[in-house]
Structures are given as structure tokens and as C-alpha cells.
């Protein structure tokens, strides 16, 4: 983002303060260093690349630290007939062995439903489920000891795939439905109809730092756990529940995660609970760190979906009604699946006014790992089906899919309802797409792609421009709250703490920028600290992309409280009216006098003014009645659009993304540098999900893709050479968010649907655009090859007939 834009927005600028005393004469130009809207680097950016950023496994180990290995089920569904751990207990170096029988409290580490046992008790329900833990002097000794366990199983019937679950009618949670208008009537009366089906695969989080917990026993049974978690309060509560302690006896700390992506929203509780159990039983510090393979086998992933769609439309492609039947694989327990399935439904419209809609959702139980939150939280899966539907409409009418998209966008002026009856009042998607269509040179390139394909028998190109509209807020109302704690020390330096966690997304620097802006002090004066449950209690997960929205507001409120006290103090001490006290960059004007921020703070301290405050924020206006599936579950929507061009080799299925143009909306950016990173990273992660990352389970329910050797995430080499990313300069939140910024964490992932759509376009080209390809995700080379063969066969059959 260019500097002019930042200055134009009037929030902050570029010129640093040079001479404090002369500065008042240049008021409009001087700024604090690192305020809001500045493209500040991530506070740990240099440490991330130098290796100096400390993760839990980098902490100096305390003397006596035990290392834990968790023994897993090697059956998908079975009864444990015998569990003989005598040899394990007797093995060299073993300090303790724990099973379900050793749990003083509840045998559960679930987020909501009470259905995630810490250790399987008699029944195992997935291949990889935790059965017992061994704590030993080293991890190698613990692992070796676990091998000598004698376990006798009696197998039970296992349901592994989504299709098997649907066939067996194995619903884990009750089905749910959303309705808008008379969908059946709209479908029946529409001049044209299409229907189709798409399968969408799951995704492993592949955070660089795996699941880890380090538990430290304290006095009186108290315990501190360093946990790599997006949700310290939930880990605290689960540890307390398992150990039968009050929440106040358990403190969770997390300085940073090496990535979470939703995989550390609910999943870390199990590992923290086991580490805490060992620490409580032995009185020794205990560390549990999963290696990559065990992490991939034991922890939940993005849900795979099967979606049937149907749409009725007119000759211009305007949708009269659309119906979706979504089914998802939850795995063996509920975890967050209910909310994830709901969010898939909330995004079945993507950016389109469907006019009439029926969305059904089934949440299926399988004997596989319990699937969980993953960037987008079900939304991306819902949207893939919508975009396929749009493309099928375009195919049926022989039109460009972009024209169908544009014919159906939520109107800018409001008026249209979502399938959950919320009016979309902030739609900027038409304007953004118009801009991207021009800046990406879409029409000319589409013609060029067609021309290329006409003369290229083997390599085919594809192009697609797809929109994103993503609802911001936790759809579970009570989670939309945040707290912060701010201390100002006597020297004018500031300690900042809030309930949000840092996973690489740049939350900490953004919230620090907000506090720096509030006090008008340089960013360097604000100390970023670890998230701890004893500093800010009862926090929500850092999730739903709302981290900076809600923690930024809470921190601002805390800083404001202190600032108000300073103003009240100065007004009285100097006998000037409150309006005459103005916070200028790093100093304060008090009537005709001026002093540094630190000087005022020092004076306030001597006058016995409290320089510490908490702040709290609850997102306003969120009402949703799940019973009737109507209401206002989101504070606002974030928008974006991407145009991707790809090439496929029709002999091998090999493919490449040639160019990507992105226009993404972040409101008024709190930090354009961080936001650009989120947009690029989210896109690449989504591209991996839809192209190369494929999870495979064998018939026994064993995950066969549990290492980078068999599971392919994008690397730096897979980043398209030609990527043109722009933050939408006109962006500005229409509701009162922190400095009118918008959430950016998840929405960009869905920009990658453009790659999937472009691949489908290229496959269609292999049939000379005569056949609509039923391409499933991920579009691996194998699937692309099958799809090419399929469209060519169909085209040949049609010609023969
Ligand atoms: N970016 C990085 N680098 N690492 C992550 O783990 N998680 C994503 C997104 N961006 C993630 C990330 C997910 S799933 C969410 S919900 C948001 O960040 C959470 O942070 P925020 O609410 O502060 O944006
Ligand atoms: N997003 C992420 N996490 C959540 C949500 C959500 O909407 N609801 C509950 N947990
Ligand atoms: Mo993000 S999936 O809401 O942690």
C-alpha cells in the first residue's frame, strides 16, 4: 500500500517527530512512530526468521522435566478387552503411566459436548485415539516403553467415509435447515434449472509448530501450563475439569504459536490435560510434544463435504432460487462441528442474493479423528459449491461465468436478504469485482485463453474471477467478547495484555498500535506480553477472524480509562479545563504548558492516581435465533475477489497457476503490511487445500497421509510467480469497528476458489467447452486427469450420438 493512501486516511502518517518543542507548529505532519494504519512489521518478524522467537519447545527445561508419549489406538472402532501395562510401568526410565482410571476429575477434554475422552475408556472410536500416556526421563524411553503394552481389542463395525456414514444414517448431530421464501416454487417456475454435486476434501493444518504443552506443578496443587493454544481459557477449564481443580488453580500461558489456523482452537486441551495430569501425579514438570506424524494422526482437520446443489434461473442467469444439501464428516465426536456446519450454511450464498433458498445440513459421524476448526470454519466448503453452481448456470446458458456472478451480487444499496434473513447492507462486491475485472484485464485474457486453447492440443489454460463475502463475528453470540489489561509504569512505558493469542497473524502488533495511538506514544513504548489466563479471564478463542476487532476495542477501552484519569488529574492539578489537555505525539499539552507523556505519568503517580486498567468489549447488534434460522449473526461482512489463470497438461494432469490478481477489502487497514501477509498467506493456504493437499484413509480407518512425504502443502516454489495483490483503497467499515478496520484472518483463504474454478475451466477446454466438468476438490493432477478423460469421453459420445 502506498504511503499517500495512509496519509490521506488521516489516521497516521509517515513523518516522525524530530524536534519535540518545535513540533506543535507542525501539528498536522508529526506522528508517533508505529501508530494505527502504519505498515509496521510483525513484532516478531525478525525473530521468526532468525530463529530467536521462542516457542514452547525452546524454553529452557527445568530440572526433572519428564517427557510424555501418548499411546494411540490402532483400531478405528473396537472394544478394549484387555489393557496390560505392567511391562510399560516397569520399563527403564519410566516415571508414570496414566490411563482413564488415573483421572481425578472428568475424563473429557472437549470444547462443548463432553465427548472427547482424554484416554479412551473401554471403547476406541478412531485410529489414533489416545489410550494411555507414558512419562519418562526422555521421549525415546517413553516411546519405547509404550511399545511393550499388551492391548487386546474386539473390533466393531467402523464407518470411515462420508458416503458410508450417509448410507448408515449415522448423524452425529441433528440436521439443520435454513429457508428463505418459497424455494420449491421458485425452482419449479424458473425458466432454467441446473443441479450438480461436488465433493470437497479436508485439510491438515500443518502448522509448523505441532501441538505441545509444558506443565509446571506449583504449590498447593496449582499448575501452570504453557500451551500452544488459540484458546487459553478453554484449556484452563479443561485442565481444571480433568484434575478436579477450580479454574483459579490453573494458569495457561502462551506467548506465541507457530501457526494455529483453527487447529489449536479446541485440540490443544487434550495435550495440556495429559501434561498437567503427569505434573500433578509426579510433582515434576512434564512436557508433551507431538512429532509431525503423531500430530497428523491424532488431531482433527478441516471437514470434508459432499454438497448437492440445484438452482432455478432466467435467461440472463439471474437466480430465482437455490437449494443446497450439505453433508460433512465430523469424525467420532462433536468438537466444533455444529458451529462449523452452521457456518457452511451461512456461506452457501457466498456473495449472491439467492432470492429463495433452502439449505439443509447433515453432520455425519464416522470412526475417524474428530474434525475441527480450519481457517474459514466451514465457510469455504459452502462457497465452493456455490461457485460450481454459478459456473454450471453459465455453462447452461453459454455465458461467461463472470456475467452470471455480476448478475447476482448482493446489491450495494441493501434490500436483499440472506438465507438466514439478514439484510446485506454493506455489499461492495459489485464495485470491487468491476475494478478487478479491469485491473486484471479479465475480458482480454479470457479471449486470449480461448485463442490459446484452440490451437494447443495438450496444454489447456483456464481463467476465473471469483468473489468472497465472509461473515465476521462468532456465530455463537456469547463468544463475541474480549478483555484487556493495560499498565502504565512510572517511566511512561506501557504493558499491554489482552485475551487474544498470537499465531503469526500479527494480532499483537495491531493491538499495540491501537494502544500507542490512544496514548500518542511510540509503538516501541508498548510492551507486548504473553497471553495468560491470570491476566485476562474468561476469554474467547482467537478465532472467527475477530482477534483484532474485539481485542483492539478492549485494549483501547483500557487505555482510554487510564487516559481519562490522566486528563482528570492534569485538569485539577493545573487548573485548566479538560478540553485544554491534549495528547500530542509523546507529550501532553496542558493549557499553555507542555510536558512529556512520561513526565505527566510520573506526576500522576506521585499524586496517587491508578495507572492500571482493564478494558472490555462486547460486539453490538448480534442476534440470531437458531431455532428459526433467522437473525443477525454477523456484525458485518468482509469482501474480496481474485482472478486466477492456470494451465493444465491434459496428458498428465500436471498444472500450474500462472497469474493471480487479488483485490481484497480490509476496511481501513490497521496495518497494511500485516494485512498483505494475511491475504497472500491465506490465498496460498486455500490454494493448497484445493489443489495438492489430499487426506487419505485406508479401509481400516488409518490415515495414510501423515507426513510431508505423502501430504503436499504448498512451498515457496508453489507461490505463483505473478501475484498482484492489492488492498482495496476505498475500504472502510460501515459499522463502528476499531478505526474502521475489518477482519482479515480467514476471508483471503477463499480467494483461492478462483484457482479451483480456473482449473475446472481448463478441464472444460479439453472438451472444447462442450462438457461441464464435475471436478471435485482437491483438484490433484490425478483428479484433473480423470476429469479431462471424462469430459473428452462425454464429448465423443455426444458427437457419436
Ligand atoms: N495467520 C497465521 N500466520 N497463522 C495462523 O495460524 N490463523 C488464521 C488467521 N491467520 C492464522 C493466520 C485463522 S484460522 C484465524 S481465525 C485468524 O488468523 C485468527 O486471528 P485474528 O482473529 O487475529 O485474525
Ligand atoms: N468461528 C470460529 N470459531 C468459532 C465460531 C466461529 O464462527 N463459533 C464458535 N467457535
Ligand atoms: Mo480460525 S478457523 O476461526 O481459528
Contact by Cβ (8 Å): 731, 11: no
Cβ contacts of 370 within 8 Å, gap of 6 or more: 116, 126, 300, 330, 331, 332, 333, 334, 335, 337
How confident is the model over 409-440, as pLDDT tens digits? 999 999 999 999 999 999 999 999 999 999 99
Distance of CA 267 to the CA centre of its chain: 14
Cβ contacts of 135 within 8 Å, gap of 6 or more: 66, 67, 68, 94, 95, 96, 97, 98, 142, 278, 282, 286
Cβ contacts of 93 within 8 Å, gap of 6 or more: 136, 137, 138, 141, 142, 145
Cβ contacts of 458 within 8 Å, gap of 6 or more: 649, 650, 651
Q: What is the pLDDT of residue 30?
A: 87
Residues with CB under 6 A from ligand 2: 265, 336, 339, 343, 373, 377, 474-476, 479, 541, 543-544
Mutational test site, ligand 2, from 233, 267, 300, 343, max ligand atoms within 8 Å of CB: 343
Q: What is the pLDDT of residue 29?
A: 55
Mutational test site, ligand 2, from 539, 541, 626, max ligand atoms within 8 Å of CB: 541
Whether 746 is catalytic: yes
Nearest ligand to the CA atom of 748:
1
Residue 569 C-alpha to ligand 3 middle, in angstroms? 43
User: What does the CA dihedral 110, 111, 114, 120 come to, rounded to 10 degrees?
Assistant: -10
Query: Can you tell me the distance from the alpha carbon of 691 to that of 693, in angstroms, rounded to the nearest whole number?
Result: 6
- Interval 136-142 mean pLDDT: 98
Q: Is the pLDDT of residue 212 over 50?
A: yes
Q: Could you tell me if the CB of 375 is within 6 A of ligand 1?
A: yes
Q: Which among 445, 470, 429 is positioned nearest to 761, based on CA atoms?
A: 445
Nearest ligand to the CA atom of 626:
2
Residue 678 C-alpha to ligand 1 middle, in angstroms? 8
Q: Is the pLDDT of residue 669 over 70?
A: yes
Residue 313 C-alpha to ligand 2 middle, in angstroms? 33
Number of Cβ within a 10 Å radius of residue 507:
25
Nearest ligand to the CA atom of 682:
1
Q: Is the pLDDT of residue 737 over 90?
A: yes
Kindly state the DSSP code that residue 299 receives in the 8-state scheme.
Answer: S
Query: Can you tell me the distance from the alpha carbon of 657 to that of 755, in angstroms, rounded to the nearest whole number?
Result: 7
Contact by Cβ (8 Å): 531, 260: no
Burial of 209: CB neighbours in 10 Å, binned 0-12, 13-18, 19+: buried
How confident is the model over 242-258, as pLDDT tens digits? 999 999 999 999 999 99
Residue 475 C-alpha to ligand 3 middle, in angstroms? 12
Query: Can you tell me the distance from the alpha carbon of 377 to that of 366, in angstroms, rounded to the nearest whole number?
Result: 19
- Interval 602-609 mean pLDDT: 98
Residues with CB under 6 A from ligand 3: 230, 262, 265, 373-375, 377, 543-544, 746
- Nearest residue by C-alpha to atom 6 in ligand 2: 474
Residue 375 C-alpha to ligand 3 middle, in angstroms? 5
Query: Can you tell me the distance from the alpha carbon of 231 to that of 233, in angstroms, rounded to the nearest whole number?
Result: 6
Residue 658 C-alpha to ligand 1 middle, in angstroms? 27
Phi, psi of 473 (to 5 degrees): 140, 155
- From residue 663, how far is each of 428, 437, 618, 644 by CA, in Å? 12, 10, 30, 12
Mutational test site, ligand 3, from 259, 265, 382, max ligand atoms within 8 Å of CB: 265
Q: What angle do CA 400, 387, 760 make, to 5 degrees?
A: 70
Query: Can you tell me the distance from the alpha carbon of 599 to that of 589, in angstroms, rounded to the nearest whole number?
Result: 12
Q: Is the pLDDT of residue 119 over 90?
A: yes
Q: Is the pLDDT of residue 8 over 90?
A: no
5 band by pLDDT with thresholds 50, 70 and 90: very low
Q: Is the pLDDT of residue 19 over 50?
A: no
- Interval 653-674 mean pLDDT: 98
Quickly tell me which residue has 462468532 as its cell: 474
Mutational test site, ligand 2, from 346, 381, 472, 476, max ligand atoms within 8 Å of CB: 476
Query: Can you tell me the distance from the alpha carbon of 42 to that of 512, in angstroms, rounded to the nearest whole number?
Result: 11
Task: Find residue 194's DSSP bridge partners.
Answer: 311
- Interval 259-277 mean pLDDT: 98
Q: Kindly state the percentage of the chain with pLDDT values over 90.
A: 96
- Nearest residue by C-alpha to atom 23 in ligand 1: 547
Residue 437 C-alpha to ligand 2 middle, in angstroms? 33
Query: Can you tell me the distance from the alpha carbon of 134 to that of 145, in angstroms, rounded to the nearest whole number?
Result: 7
- Nearest residue by C-alpha to atom 5 in ligand 2: 474
Edge-to-edge strand list for the sheet holding 150-155:
123-124, 78-84, 150-155
Query: Can you tell me the distance from the alpha carbon of 264 to that of 254, in angstroms, rounded to the nearest whole number?
Result: 12
Mutational test site, ligand 2, from 479, 540, 624, max ligand atoms within 8 Å of CB: 479
**Closest atom, ligand 2, to C-alpha of 342:** 7
Residue 223 C-alpha to ligand 2 middle, in angstroms? 28
Q: What is the pLDDT of residue 801?
A: 83
Number of Cβ within a 10 Å radius of residue 58:
11
How confident is the model over 366-390, as pLDDT tens digits? 999 999 999 999 999 999 999 999 9
Q: Could you tell me if the CB of 262 is within 6 A of ligand 1?
A: yes
Report residue 696 as a C-alpha cell.
Answer: 487419505
Query: Can you tell me the distance from the alpha carbon of 481 to that of 498, in angstroms, rounded to the nearest whole number?
Result: 11
> What's the number of CA atoms in the CB half-sphere (13 Å) around residue 122?
0
> What's the number of CA atoms in the CB half-sphere (13 Å) around residue 100?
17
Residue-wise burial string across 486-502, b where 16 or more C-beta atoms lie within 10 A, e elsewhere? bbbbeebbbbbbbbbbb
Query: Can you tell me the distance from the alpha carbon of 125 to that of 157, in angstroms, rounded to the nearest whole number?
Result: 10
Task: Find residue 252's DSSP bridge partners.
Answer: 225
**Closest atom, ligand 1, to C-alpha of 376:** 14
- Nearest residue by C-alpha to atom 18 in ligand 1: 745
pTM (two decimals): 0.96
Number of Cβ within a 10 Å radius of residue 456:
13
How confident is the model over 165-203, as pLDDT tens digits? 999 999 999 999 999 999 999 999 999 999 999 999 999
Q: What angle do CA 359, 361, 363 make, to 5 degrees?
A: 170
Query: Can you tell me the distance from the alpha carbon of 472 to that of 469, in angstroms, rounded to the nearest whole number?
Result: 10
How confident is the model over 754-797, as pLDDT tens digits? 999 999 999 999 999 999 999 999 999 999 999 999 999 999 99
Peptide bond before residue 778 is cis, with ω within 30 degrees of 0: yes
**Closest atom, ligand 2, to C-alpha of 265:** 3
Residue 109 C-alpha to ligand 2 middle, in angstroms? 18
Q: Is the pLDDT of residue 3 over 60?
A: no
**Closest atom, ligand 1, to C-alpha of 743:** 24
Q: Could you tell me if the CB of 503 is within 6 A of ligand 1?
A: yes
Q: Could you tell me if the CB of 260 is within 6 A of ligand 1?
A: yes
Catalytic residue among 164, 599, 746, 782: 746
How confident is the model over 494-544, as pLDDT tens digits? 999 999 999 999 999 999 999 999 999 999 999 999 999 999 999 999 999
**Closest atom, ligand 3, to C-alpha of 377:** 2
Residue 682 C-alpha to ligand 1 middle, in angstroms? 9
Contact by Cβ (8 Å): 480, 624: no
Q: Which among 241, 84, 242 is positioned nearest to 151, based on CA atoms?
A: 84
Q: Kindly state the percentage of the chain with pLDDT values over 70.
A: 96
239 band by pLDDT with thresholds 50, 70 and 90: very high
Report residue 224 as a C-alpha cell.
Answer: 501452570
Amino acid at each position: 500500500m502506498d504511503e499517500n493512501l495512509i496519509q490521506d486516511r488521516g489516521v497516521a502518517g509517515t513523518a516522525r517527530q524530530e524536534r519535540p518543542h518545535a513540533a506543535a507548529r507542525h501539528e498536522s505532519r508529526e506522528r508517533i512512530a508505529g501508530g494505527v494504519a502504519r505498515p509496521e512489521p510483525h513484532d516478531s518478524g525478525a525473530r521468526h526468521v532468525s530463529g530467536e522467537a521462542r516457542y514452547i519447545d525452546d524454553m529452557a527445561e527445568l530440572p526433572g522435566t519428564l517427557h510424555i508419549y501418548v499411546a494411540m489406538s490402532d483400531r478405528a472402532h473396537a472394544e478394549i478387552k484387555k489393557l496390560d501395562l505392567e511391562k510399560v510401568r516397569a520399563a527403564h526410565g519410566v516415571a508414570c503411566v496414566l490411563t482413564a482410571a488415573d483421572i481425578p476429575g472428568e475424563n473429557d477434554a472437549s470444547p462443548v459436548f463432553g465427548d472427547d475422552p482424554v484416554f479412551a475408556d473401554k471403547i476406541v472410536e478412531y485410529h489414533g485415539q489416545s489410550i494411555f500416556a507414558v512419562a519418562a526421563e526422555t521421549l525415546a524411553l517413553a516411546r519405547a516403553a509404550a511399545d511393550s503394552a499388551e492391548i487386546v481389542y474386539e473390533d466393531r463395525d467402523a464407518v470411515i467415509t462420508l458416503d458410508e456414514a450417509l448410507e448408515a444414517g449415522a448423524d452425529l448431530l441433528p440436521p439443520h435447515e435454513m429457508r428463505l421464501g418459497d424455494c420449491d416454487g421458485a425452482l419449479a417456475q424458473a425458466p432454467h434449472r441446473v443441479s450438480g454435486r461436488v465433493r470437497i476434501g479436508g485439510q491438515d493444518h500443518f502448522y509448523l509448530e505441532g501441538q505441545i504443552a509444558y506443565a509446571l506443578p506449583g504449590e498447593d496443587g496449582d499448575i501452570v501450563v504453557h500451551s500452544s493454544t488459540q484458546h487459553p481459557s478453554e484449556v484452563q477449564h479443561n485442565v481444571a475439569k480433568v484434575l478436579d481443580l477450580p479454574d483459579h488453580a490453573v494458569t495457561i500461558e502462551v506467548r506465541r504459536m507457530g501457526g494455529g489456523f483453527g487447529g489449536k482452537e479446541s485440540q490443544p486441551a487434550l495435550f495440556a490435560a495429559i501434561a498437567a495430569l503427569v505434573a500433578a501425579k509426579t510433582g515434576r514438570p512434564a512436557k508433551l510434544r507431538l512429532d509431525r506424524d503423531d500430530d497428523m494422526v491424532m488431531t482433527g482437520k478441516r471437514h470434508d463435504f459432499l454438497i448437492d446443489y440445484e438452482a432455478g434461473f432466467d435467461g440472463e442467469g439471474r437466480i430465482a432460487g437455490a437449494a443446497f444439501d450439505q453433508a460433512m464428516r465430523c469424525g467420532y465426536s462433536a468438537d466444533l462441528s455444529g458451529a462449523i456446519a452452521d457456518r457452511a450454511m451461512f456461506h452457501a450464498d457466498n456473495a449472491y442474493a439467492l432470492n429463495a433458498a433452502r439449505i439443509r445440513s447433515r453432520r455425519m459421524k464416522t470412526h475417524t479423528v474428530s474434525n475441527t476448526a480450519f481457517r474459514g470454519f466451514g465457510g469455504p466448503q459452502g462457497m465452493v459449491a456455490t461457485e460450481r453452481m454459478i459456473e454450471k448456470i453459465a455453462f447452461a446458458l453459454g455465458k461467461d461465468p463472470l456475467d452470471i456472478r455480476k448478475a447476482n451480487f448482493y446489491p450495494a444499496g441493501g434490500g436483499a436478504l440472506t438465507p438466514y434473513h439478514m439484510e446485506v447492507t454493506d455489499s461492495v462486491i459489485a464495485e470491487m469485482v468491476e475494478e478487478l475485472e479491469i485491473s486484471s484485464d479479465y475480458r482480454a485474457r479470457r479471449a486470449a485463453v480461448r485463442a490459446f486453447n484452440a490451437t494447443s492440443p495438450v496444454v489447456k489454460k483456464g481463467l476465473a474471477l471469483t468473489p468472497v463475502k465472509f461473515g465476521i463475528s462468532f456465530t455463537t453470540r456469547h463468544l463475541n467478547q474480549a478483555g484487556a489489561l493495560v499498565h502504565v509504569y512510572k517511566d511512561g512505558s506501557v504493558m499491554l495484555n489482552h485475551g487474544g493469542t498470537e499465531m503469526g497473524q500479527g494480532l499483537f502488533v495491531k493491538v499495540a498500535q491501537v494502544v500507542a495511538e490512544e496514548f500518542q506514544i511510540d509503538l516501541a513504548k508498548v510492551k507486548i506480553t504473553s497471553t495468560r489466563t491470570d491476566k485476562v479471564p474468561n476469554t474467547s478463542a482467537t478465532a472467527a477472524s475477530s482477534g483484532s476487532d474485539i481485542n483492539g476495542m478492549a485494549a483501547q477501552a483500557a487505555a482510554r480509562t487510564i487516559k481519562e484519569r490522566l486528563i482528570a488529574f492534569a485538569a485539577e492539578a493545573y487548573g485548566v479545563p479538560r478540553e485544554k489537555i491534549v495528547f500530542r505525539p509523546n507529550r501532553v499539552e496542558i493549557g499553555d504548558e507542555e510536558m512529556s507523556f512520561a513526565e505527566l505519568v510520573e506526576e500522576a503517580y506521585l499524586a496517587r492516581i491508578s495507572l492500571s486498567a482493564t478494558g472490555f468489549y462486547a460486539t453490538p447488534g448480534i442476534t440470531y435465533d437458531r431455532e428459526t434460522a433467522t437473525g443477525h449473526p454477523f456484525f458485518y461482512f468482509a469482501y474480496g475477489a481474485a482472478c486466477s489463470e492456470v494451465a493444465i497438461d491434459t496428458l498428465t494432469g500436471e498444472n500450474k497457476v500462472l497469474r493471480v490478481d487479488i483485490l481484497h477489502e480490509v476496511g481501513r487497514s490497521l496495518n497494511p503490511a500485516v494485512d498483505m501477509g494475511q491475504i497472500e498467506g491465506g490465498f496460498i493456504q486455500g490454494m493448497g487445500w484445493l489443489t495438492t493437499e489430499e487426506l487419505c484413509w485406508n479401509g481400516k480407518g488409518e490415515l495414510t497421509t501423515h507426513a510431508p512425504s505423502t501430504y503436499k502443502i504448498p512451498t515457496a516454489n508453489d507461490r505463483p510467480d505473478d501475484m498482484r495483490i492489492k488492498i482495496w483503497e476505498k475500504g472502510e467499515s460501515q459499522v463502528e469497528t476499531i478505526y474502521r478496520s475489518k477482519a482479515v484472518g480467514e476471508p483471503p483463504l477463499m480467494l483461492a476458489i478462483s484457482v479451483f474454478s480456473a482449473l475446472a475451466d481448463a478441464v472444460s477446454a479439453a472438451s472444447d467447452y462442450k462438457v461441464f466438468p464435475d471436478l471435485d476438490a482437491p483438484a490433484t493432477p490425478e483428479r484433473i486427469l480423470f476429469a479431462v478423460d471424462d469430459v473428452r469421453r462425454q464429448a465423443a459420445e455426444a458427437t457419436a450420438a
